[in-house]
Amino acid sequence: MTDEKKRFYTSMVILALMFFIFGFVSWMNSILIPYFRVACELTHFQSYLVTFAFYIAYFVMAVPSGKLLDKVGFKRGIMYGFMCMAIGAFIFVPAALAREFWIFLIGLFSIGTGLAILQTAANPYVTIIGPIDSAARRMSIMGVCNKFAGIISPLVFAALVLNNSGDSAMFAQIDSGLLAPDVKEAMLDELIRRVIWPYTILGVILLAAGIWIRHSVLPEIDTAKDNASEAGTETGRRSVFSYPYLVLGAVAIFFHVGSQVVAIDTIIGYAGDMGLDMIQAKAFPSYTLTFTLIGYLCGIVLIPKFVSQTRAFQFCVTLGLVLSLCVIFVDAPMTVGGHQVNASIMFLSALGLPNSLIYAGIWPLAIHNLGRHTKTGSSLLIMGLCGNAIMPQLYGLIADHVNIRAGYWVLVPCFLYLMFYAFLGHKIQNWKKTEK
């Protein structure tokens, strides 16, 4: 094996580990939301501040993350990103001791800040480290690692923090409103303090991962050189905003991740509306992520040998719109895991299938031929991840004021815009037809 191939495969393994960590930490939110709603006595809207605090960091910190990477390099920047995440995990300790939701939100923002740095670094690596026409395939490999971590993270959290034999009865007592105030407070204090040791251990792991990657053989990359166009780095465009396909791609990222997080992070609450408690519904996010994992595996096998990444992207956004309409309109009973539920919850889970390849489809279309603007362009795309912060809040508002199922109307405009970008938006090279 040549040195170049060794460098490629070693880098892919390190990046796969990073995407596993991204997924494990990010998709923990799907169970943190109902957990905090009970332990901190929150409304639906308030509970979705979990995703808001976590993902708004992507919007606030994406550009500073790009500047940090420019200044210190990718590897040192990755270490700083892991350190920010570790600090956020450690903040969960005083938050749990005080049972103060706002302190948890600070911890979540710190974790999100670290992830913004890591995502700004990792996505260009995956896109540039090999041929651009197979970038979606490499993103699919990273997605498998990310979503496999997402499948197991809520289950690991539930195993460490929840008690299958006694917590269902405790949740019923808390919801009954019949407990004496001091008894209820003692129950809630005991419940929230269960996160202390898991998040302390997580913080230590994140610190160790950052130090290891800093001293690993992962190479630095020169994005200005590696992502230049065939004619060389473009100098005629002074900023990233002069690339329509990039700007429109950032908006596509916003709607994609927003629709994805709504499908995953609200599903336990939707199951609760069907009479299932947190213990019974804990597996539903894993069902969604299992569909996503299947989609990634299909992408690895099919792209680009049998289907282009653009065609796969177009198919997925169309399927996403169809499934979203099924979530809203299909009304039939079915049994899942021994529980009677509405069939619409399985269409919600099935959204994981098209969502798997949408991110991988957007990224290479949006970032190609940026040359010296690649790092800033990457930061702009990472800012689009704040859709994870905004869309669940919109869902929560509708769920509180109309009903939980009506909240899924937010998915429809998301997929309509994604269809525009997949079929037309990514082809727009200039804002004006006369522009050269």
Q: Residue 391: which CATH number?
A: 1.20.1250.20
> What share of the chain in percent tops pLDDT 90?
32
Predicted confidence at residue 383, as pLDDT, reads 83
The answer to the question of residue 365 being in a domain is yes
* pLDDT of 223 strictly over 60: no
Containing structural domain, residue 32: 3-216+241-427
Q: What is the mean pLDDT of the chain?
A: 85
Predicted confidence at residue 51, as pLDDT, reads 86
Predicted confidence at residue 165, as pLDDT, reads 66
State pTM to two decimals.
0.74
Predicted confidence at residue 229, as pLDDT, reads 46
The answer to the question of residue 60 being in a domain is yes
Predicted confidence at residue 57, as pLDDT, reads 87
Predicted confidence at residue 219, as pLDDT, reads 67
- Nearest Cα neighbor of 330 from 257, 408, 275, 227 is 408
Task: With cut-offs at 50, 70 and 90, classify the pLDDT of residue 338.
Answer: confident
The answer to the question of residue 234 being in a domain is no
Q: How many CB atoms lie within 10 A of CB 328?
A: 17
Most confident of 92-96, 144-148, 293-297: 92-96
Listed in sequence order, the residues at least 6 apart from 40 whose beta carbon sits closer than 8 Å to its beta carbon are: 99, 101, 104, 188, 192
What mean pLDDT do residues 287-303 have? 84
Predicted confidence at residue 196, as pLDDT, reads 94
For residue 191, the surrounding DSSP H or E stretch is helix 181-192
The answer to the question of residue 397 being in a domain is yes
Predicted confidence at residue 1, as pLDDT, reads 59
The answer to the question of residue 412 being in a domain is yes
Predicted confidence at residue 136, as pLDDT, reads 65
* pLDDT of 236 strictly over 80: no
Task: With cut-offs at 50, 70 and 90, classify the pLDDT of residue 435.
Answer: very low
Q: Which two tokens stand for residue 238?
A: 């002074």
What mean pLDDT do residues 278-297 have? 83
Query: For the stretch 98-111, what's the b/e string if a residue is b when 16 or more beta carbons lie within 10 angstroms of its beta carbon?
Result: ebebebbbbbbbbb
Is the Cβ–Cβ distance between 263 and 355 less than 8 Å? yes
The answer to the question of residue 228 being in a domain is no
The answer to the question of residue 236 being in a domain is no
Task: With cut-offs at 50, 70 and 90, classify the pLDDT of residue 320.
Answer: very high
Predicted confidence at residue 233, as pLDDT, reads 46
The answer to the question of residue 408 being in a domain is yes
Listed in sequence order, the residues at least 6 apart from 38 whose beta carbon sits closer than 8 Å to its beta carbon are: 171, 174, 188, 191, 278
The count of domains in the chain is: 1
Predicted confidence at residue 235, as pLDDT, reads 47
* pLDDT of 302 strictly over 50: yes
Task: With cut-offs at 50, 70 and 90, classify the pLDDT of residue 232.
Answer: very low
